[in-house]
């Protein structure tokens, strides 16, 4: 379980806390379906567009899809009937909570499941460094060019 902390809905109100649990199968399918619905079935086109607006739209779609399914009462707590009613000016608050609080908790739990399903390639484990033999930290010095010798003054 994770407790998300959102800014207050109105000036002077207390910040909003919302409990989130890792999704079950039905919720996971709802999240993925909602991403397509919110993007008018253009999620892949937005991904390939790569424009600033498309990237921001995808951030909003991802945040809203996850939070709407996993925190269904949050819109009401934020004084809106639906996530889609939230003014675009508040989108960055929602996306920030999603990226800064939710994803660091969610992704480490989801990634191993996707690796096990052979959807993602497992990340190789970095071998432990042996300080006696590992000189990779010295690579930063390899790019430096020797300084040219000062010209010898002519007599």
pLDDT at residue 125, rounded to an integer: 76
| pLDDT tens-digit series, residues 10-57 | 888 899 999 999 999 999 999 999 999 999 999 999 999 999 999 999
DSSP code of 123?
Answer: P
Flag whether pLDDT at 134 surpasses 70. Answer: no
- Strand residue runs (E) in the chain: 2-6, 16-20
What pLDDT does 103 receive?
98
pLDDT score for 143: 53
pLDDT tens for 84-111 read: 888 888 899 999 999 999 999 999 999 9
Over residues 110-139, the mean pLDDT reads 77
Assigned token pair, 65: 């899809």
Bridge partners of 17, per DSSP, are 5
pLDDT score, position 155: 45
Backbone angles phi, psi at 122, to 5 degrees: -60, 140
Indicate the pTM of the whole model.
0.76
Can you give the pLDDT at residue 37? 96
CB < 8 Å & 24+ apart, contacts of 61-64: 61/35, 62/35, 62/98, 63/94, 63/95, 63/97, 63/98, 63/99, 63/102, 64/34, 64/38, 64/94
């Amino acid at each position: 379980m994770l407790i998300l902390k959102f800014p207050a809905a109105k000036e002077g109100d207390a910040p909003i806390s919302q409990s989130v649990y890792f999704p079950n199968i039905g919720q996971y399918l709802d999240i993925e379906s909602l991403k397509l619905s919110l993007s008018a079935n253009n999620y892949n086109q937005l991904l390939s567009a790569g424009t600033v607006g498309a990237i921001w739209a995808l951030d909003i779609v991802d945040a809203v899809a996850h939070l709407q399914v996993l925190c269904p009462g949050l819109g009401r707590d934020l004084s809106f009937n639906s996530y889609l009613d939230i003014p675009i000016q508040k989108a960055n608050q929602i996306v920030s909570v999603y990226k800064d609080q939710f994803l660091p908790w969610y992704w480490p739990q989801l990634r191993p499941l996707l690796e096990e399903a052979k959807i993602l390639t497992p990340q190789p484990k970095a071998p432990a460094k042996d300080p006696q033999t590992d000189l990779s930290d010295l690579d930063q010095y390899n790019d430096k060019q020797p300084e040219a010798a000062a010209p010898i003054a002519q007599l």
